Amino acid sequence: MSDLRPRDRSGRLPVVARHGQLKKASPVAAVLKLLGIALAVVLVAVVSVSSITVWQIASAIGGNNVGLEGEEDVPTDVAAIKGGFNLLLVGSDECTEKCTGYGVRDSKLNDVNILLHVSEDQTNAVAISFPRDLVLPIPSCEKEDGGGTTSAMSAMPLNVALSDGGLPCVVKTLATYTGLDIQYAGLITFGGVIEMSNAVGGVPVCVTEAVSDSRTGLKLDAGTTVLKGKQALAFLRARHAFGDKSDLARIGVQQLYMSSLLRTLQSNDTLGNPGKLYALAKAASDNMTLSNSLGNVNTMVSMALALKDIPLKNILFASYPSTTGVGGIYAGKVAPVQPDADNMIDYVKNDKKFKLKDLGSRNSVVDETPVPTDEPTTAPPTASDTPTDTPTDTPTGTETTAPSVGSGVDAETATCAVSTG
């Protein structure tokens, strides 16, 4: 996917990069800090509230947009993009007074990097989480303050890209690394997680054993708890409380939260409540930075229409295949696992539907007794809460069966985080 070479005497090496060229042409599309769903709320809201409210929300978001390379060629209607569209969802560790208890910080590291791909036929979507410590080339980027460009680096953790050149640099880094066209992007900080979880009325999460994590202050009883505010943020930041205590396990916990949030967003209690929808959209708009290509009400409406009817079973939250414990330039960091990593990206690049090899994998198990929720308004109730290994609907393209790659969760299946106590 990319060749990483030894460092030169300066310690900062040029990167041999492949810059993706942008083509000229249900539920999920978001960016919560440490997950990726805030924008889904905006997208649902723009087709659910009055035109005046839509204008107010779009105006609020549009005041803080940033430009991406090549975005002038991106159509406002996502249906015009051949091979489906891609949206990069970035979560920053920047923290203001809203994050009391975590310490106000000015750092800007992209701790969450989720690439959402929606198929051209709008029947399925996958959100791929890239680990923050994945070692990869960082290309030269324009500085946010306009003071020139940064130096290219050939072997650095992904989460330094945001501090190098803001959201456009994170997009450029992953577009170069994967060879994918990334047409849209958005970013949210810690405060957005707190406000969004409050606005939705809380998100149910399940843990296998009681949790008491002194690092984040997270305390949970075994079973299901509805998380709000700082408790939701603590859950998403907790690493040592779950699985093998790694950042890769934490990604799985975040995916569990996202799938539960998505089910909550699709419930009648949310979709049938205009006041709640507006609160959700307002919370998102107050805490997000969008690319110019995305911060357009027409684009948001077209994206909402593309997403709203995708069945939960056809929405995957996948982990980019990677591992720890590799030496050399990956020592203490994260390395891709081949050929799975290349295969997953190739499926996305070719708009080819795939399914997950492992449900939950290292940090979660299927919840046999999920918390009852209102039935979705866009899909019939399912007969079982167990994962579906073989898709029953027709995949994108001409294939009759979908390949399996990677681990993660689907939005339909309730899972429990494996807690360490």
Complete domains list, the chain, with CATH: 38-417 (3.40.630.190)
pLDDT at 286 over 80: no
Kindly give, in sequence order, each residue whose CB lies less than 8 Å from that of residue 352, ignoring residues fewer than 6 positions away.
Answer: 346, 395, 396, 397, 399, 402, 403
247-269, pLDDT tens digit by residue? 787 788 888 888 888 888 777 67
Distance from C-alpha of 399 to C-alpha of 394, rounded to nearest angstrom: 8
> Across all residues in the chain, what is the average pLDDT?
76
* Residue 209 contacts residue 419 (beta carbons within 8 Å): yes
Phi, psi of 352 (to 5 degrees): -105, 125
- Stretch 106-121: mean pLDDT, rounded? 87
At residue 184, the pLDDT reads 93
At residue 364, the pLDDT reads 63
pLDDT at 33 over 50: no
* Residue 421 contacts residue 209 (beta carbons within 8 Å): yes
Q: Is the dihedral of CA 26, 30, 36, 41 positive or negative?
A: negative
| Residue matched to tokens 């843990």 | 207
pLDDT at 97 over 80: no
Confidence band for 165, pLDDT divided at 50, 70 and 90: very high
| Residue matched to tokens 């070479």 | 5
Least confidently predicted of 125-129, 299-303, 333-337: 299-303
pLDDT at 25 over 90: no
- Stretch 357-362: mean pLDDT, rounded? 69
Per-residue tokens: 298: 């027409």
DSSP, collapsed to helix, strand or coil, labels residue 274 as helix
Kindly give, in sequence order, each residue whose CB lies less than 8 Å from that of residue 38, ignoring residues fewer than 6 positions away.
Answer: 30, 31, 32, 186, 188, 192, 196, 283, 284, 287, 288
DSSP, collapsed to helix, strand or coil, labels residue 151 as coil
At residue 119, the pLDDT reads 96
172-207, pLDDT tens digit by residue? 999 999 999 999 998 877 777 778 888 888 999 999
For residue 96, how many other CB atoms are within 10 A of its CB? 13
pLDDT at 397 over 70: no
Distance from C-alpha of 297 to C-alpha of 290, rounded to nearest angstrom: 12
Confidence band for 99, pLDDT divided at 50, 70 and 90: low
For residue 342, how many other CB atoms are within 10 A of its CB? 15
Least confidently predicted of 54-58, 284-288, 375-379: 375-379
125-146, pLDDT tens digit by residue? 999 999 999 999 999 999 988 8
The residue with greater pLDDT, 82 or 248, is 82
* pTM of structure: 0.77
CA dihedral 8, 12, 13, 16 (to 10 degrees): 170
Which one of 37-51, 338-352, 371-385 scores highest in mean pLDDT?
338-352
DSSP, collapsed to helix, strand or coil, labels residue 162 as helix
User: In this structure, are strands 288-290 and 184-188 parallel, antiparallel, or unpaired?
Assistant: antiparallel
Confidence band for 331, pLDDT divided at 50, 70 and 90: very high
Distance from C-alpha of 41 to C-alpha of 31, rounded to nearest angstrom: 10
Q: What is the DSSP string of 189-211?
A: -HHHHHHHHHHTT-EEEEESS-E
Phi, psi of 336 (to 5 degrees): -70, 150
pLDDT at 43 over 60: no
For residue 368, how many other CB atoms are within 10 A of its CB? 9
